[in-house]
Structure formats: structure tokens, C-alpha cells
Amino acid sequence: MDFLHVRYEPGSASCAPDDMMRHGGREYALILSGRIRVQIGFETYDLTEGDSVTFDSMTPHRLSNESDAPVEAVWFVVGGRSDERARTAAAPSPDVTHLPSLRT
């Protein structure tokens, strides 16, 4: 299992706009602050503070911070990994949870 506390600067992305990545395993994430766009297969989600997502890492995916503020998140990647990339895929919808803010 890989545990990552990450910061995405404004305008940053996990790969080029016309590309997506995939690798073995399953990903789990919790957004701590900011807003990040997560594209998984053919679906796109805008996640904000307190939101979480989980998906099969073999489903092509891309992360991007299209806002003007940094994003902080915690990611867990469970299972094998590889550097395989893909541009298209058909996949079931991932599990996305929108939660109320954890901060008071």
C-alpha cells in the first residue's frame, strides 16, 4: 500500500490534457482542502474539501487542479502498480462521496 499526502498547485495535472494514466491496484482519496477535477474513465468529478473517491486504478484516470488555489489530499493506493498508460476506456462509475466539511 502506498500512502500519499499530496499538494496540487494551481494549473497542475497528473498527465497531459489529452492523456490518462492507469496502473494496478485500487485508489482511495480524501480531499483535505481546495477543489480538484478527477476524470475516471468517461466520467468527470469536481471534488472539494471533505469529498472522497475510490476506483480501480486500471481504469484510466487523470487529476487536475483547474482552480487558482492549491489542493491538499490524502491518497491510498492498494495493490500492484505499473507505468502503463491509456487514452480511452469504458468502465463502471467509481464510488464518489460528497461529505459536509470536516472543519468548523
In the structure grid, which three cell numbers stand for residue 41, read together?
Answer: 474513465
pLDDT recorded at residue 2: 86
d(CA 40, CA 20): 9
Which of 35-39, 80-84, 90-94 is the most confident on average? Answer: 35-39
29-56 confidence digits (pLDDT tens): 999 999 999 999 999 999 999 999 999 9
pTM over 0.95: no
CB 96 within 8 A of CB 45: yes
Which domains occur in the chain, in start order?
Answer: 2-82 (2.60.120.10)
